[in-house]
């Protein structure tokens, strides 16, 4: 399977992963043949990349079916909760929701492969939910890598999946606005951590550590974040982890950033912000836990050859194994061959294609 930028689709490709609505229902099912009508509709929905089948890359597994099932169930619950925000204060409803989130977190922490757990397809309608769930997945991996106990990992995961709950009470026009926000709009947007924390406070069963993480997830290590301008270790550990996960997923999947899929830019931004925006020690864990280029992603190397990521090399997050399946100049198919960037030290990835 391969990850393909929407503008590279020509028609007749077979969709490799389901695309979901904002309430967890299947919008477009894996196995669907993508004609021009489907492709144009996906563009209208704000989709920038999809997974499609390719027999030359059939051994590349990009999805853990258990993770996908658990994410879908979590998305269904999130949709119900965001549409009826008063449900958060209901102990029974919130308890049932926490059990579903805990099941996802338990599986991520004990059995999941990070390389098969991220990069669900985001649309204009589902991106808030998909983003929150992927932030939860990333934060859980980081927390587990930091040797947190299982109770703390569950608290972290719950805070991560709820980190943007305050946006449910912001105007839809503000959240969907294209382009830069005015100063007044930006100030209104910056209220969402405070709003989210107040929503969660209404349920006495939600730990204060979770509420604090939601409140602080836009704080920065250098004190230039919001809403309170906290610095360093005065920001909760959960919030410091969520901040990294939030920024990475936002930049990697944001059409507003470069109108393309940009996991390498997101990765470099995290590393560049170490010690100023982000906690330096957590960035080190992030760097060891996540690869720069996802499986199935097409990249261009420094010799201008293009190929697809088929395997990751442990401890070398930016040097995967690339499979070349076509001639870069003519775009004609060739006999596939692989380049291991750990062994080919004279080559580097130049860009995502």
Q: CA 85, CA 79: separation in Å to the nearest integer?
A: 10
**Model pLDDT, residue 254:** 65
pLDDT tens digits, 49-84: 899 999 999 999 988 889 888 988 998 888 888 777
List, for residues 111-122, the tens digit of each pLDDT value. 888 888 777 777
Q: Which of 41-50, 217-226, 263-272 shows the highest mean pLDDT? A: 217-226
Residue 48 has a pLDDT of 82
Q: Is the pLDDT of residue 212 over 80?
A: yes
Q: For residue 351, give the H/E element and its range.
A: strand 349-352
At 259 the pLDDT is: 52
Pick the range with the lowest mean pLDDT from 115-124, 227-236, 277-286.
115-124
Selection from 113, 129, 100, 112 nearest residue 19 by Cα: 129
Q: What is the pLDDT of residue 258?
A: 42
What's the pLDDT at 265? 84
What is residue 85's predicted lDDT score, i.e. its pLDDT?
79
pTM of the model: 0.90
Q: Is 323's pLDDT higher than 60?
A: yes
- DSSP-assigned letters across all residues of 253-268: H-HHHHSS--HHHHHH
pLDDT of residue 235: 98
Residue 142: closest CA among 172, 188, 110, 109: 109
- Token digits for 244? 């990294």
Q: Residue 306: which H helix or E strand, with range? A: strand 306-313
Give whole-number Cα distances, 60 to 3, 31, 154, 309, 331, in Å: 10, 16, 30, 9, 21
The terminus-to-terminus CA distance of the chain in angstroms comes to 16
Q: Any idea what the Cα angle at residue 345 is, between residues 339 and 350, rounded to 5°?
A: 70
Mean pLDDT lowest among 73-82, 183-192, 317-326: 73-82
């Amino acid at each position: 399977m391969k990850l393909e930028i929407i503008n590279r689709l020509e028609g007749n490709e077979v969709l490799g992963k389901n695309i979901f609505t904002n309430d967890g229902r299947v919008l477009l099912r894996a196995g669907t043949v993508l004609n021009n009508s489907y492709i144009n509709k996906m563009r209208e929905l704000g989709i920038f990349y999809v997974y499609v089948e390719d027999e030359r890359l059939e051994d590349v597994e990009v999805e853990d079916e258990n993770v996908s099932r658990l994410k879908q169930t979590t998305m269904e619950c999130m949709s119900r909760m965001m549409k009826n925000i008063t449900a958060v204060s209901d102990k029974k409803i919130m308890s049932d929701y926490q059990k579903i989130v805990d099941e996802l977190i338990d599986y991520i922490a004990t059995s999941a492969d990070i390389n098969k757990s991220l990069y669900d397809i985001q649309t204009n309608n589902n991106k808030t939910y998909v983003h929150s769930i992927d932030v939860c997945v990333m934060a859980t991996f980081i927390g587990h890598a930091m040797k947190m106990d299982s109770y703390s990992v569950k608290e972290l995961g719950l805070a991560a999946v709820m980190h943007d709950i305050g946006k449910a009470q912001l105007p839809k026009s503000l959240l969907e606005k294209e382009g830069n926000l005015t100063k007044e709009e930006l100030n209104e947007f910056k209220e969402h951590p405070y709003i989210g924390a107040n929503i969660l406070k209404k349920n006495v069963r939600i730990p204060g550590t979770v509420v604090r993480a939601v409140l602080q997830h836009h704080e920065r290590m250098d004190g230039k974040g919001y809403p309170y301008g906290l610095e360093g270790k005065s920001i909760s550990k959960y919030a410091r982890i969520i901040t990294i996960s939030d920024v990475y997923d936002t930049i990697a999947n944001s059409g507003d950033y470069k109108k393309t899929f940009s996991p390498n830019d997101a990765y470099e931004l995290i590393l560049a912000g170490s010690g100023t925006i982000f906690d330096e020690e957590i960035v080190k864990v992030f760097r060891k836990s996540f690869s720069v280029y996802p499986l199935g992603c097409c990249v261009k190397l420094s010799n201008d050859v293009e190929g697809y990521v088929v395997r990751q090399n442990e401890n070398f997050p930016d040097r995967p194994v690339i499979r070349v399946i076509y001639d870069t100049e003519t775009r004609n198919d060739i006999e596939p061959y692989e380049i291991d960037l750990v062994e080919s030290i004279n080559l580097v990835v130049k860009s995502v294609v």
